[in-house]
């Protein structure tokens, strides 16, 4: 069961509230040099930059950019199914 969701899988708060609620946890979970499995495309990505945009790059050169304040929405127990970025190290 995902956090911040009802029994039907729908968010129980606004996206803005979710971002605020998960910001500190995301800042601790996602870090430069960390490797994350992206369930959206089944690739592993390394976080290489954390500014306004978090920049992740796969080992085959694909780039993923996520607004830093939205990273909490990709936490494994928060993200919609198939949208998780899960630490592999």
Q: How many domains does the chain have?
A: 1
> Once rounded to an integer, what is the mean pLDDT over residues 18-37?
97
CA 87 – CA 75 distance, rounded (Å): 9
DSSP assignment letter at 39: T
Phi/psi at 48 (5° precision): -115, -10
| 35: enclosing H helix or E strand | strand 35-38
Is position 52 within any domain? yes
Is position 8 within any domain? no
Here the tokens at position 41 are 């495309």
Is position 78 within any domain? yes
Per-residue pLDDT at 1: 81
Q: What is the pLDDT of residues 36-77, one digit of tens each?
A: 999 999 999 999 999 999 999 999 999 999 999 999 999 999
| C-alpha distances in Å from residue 50, one per residue of 27, 46, 77 | 10, 11, 22
Domain holding 22, by residue range, is 15-87
């Amino acid at each position: 069961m995902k956090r911040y969701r009802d029994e039907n899988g729908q968010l129980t708060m606004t996206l803005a509230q979710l971002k605020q609620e998960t910001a500190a946890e995301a800042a601790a979970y996602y870090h430069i040099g960390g490797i994350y499995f992206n369930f959206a495309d089944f690739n592993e990505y390394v976080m290489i930059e954390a500014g306004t945009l978090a920049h992740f790059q796969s080992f085959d050169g694909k780039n993923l950019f996520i607004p830093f304040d939205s990273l909490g929405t990709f936490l494994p127990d928060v993200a919609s199914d198939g949208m998780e970025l899960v630490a592999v190290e």
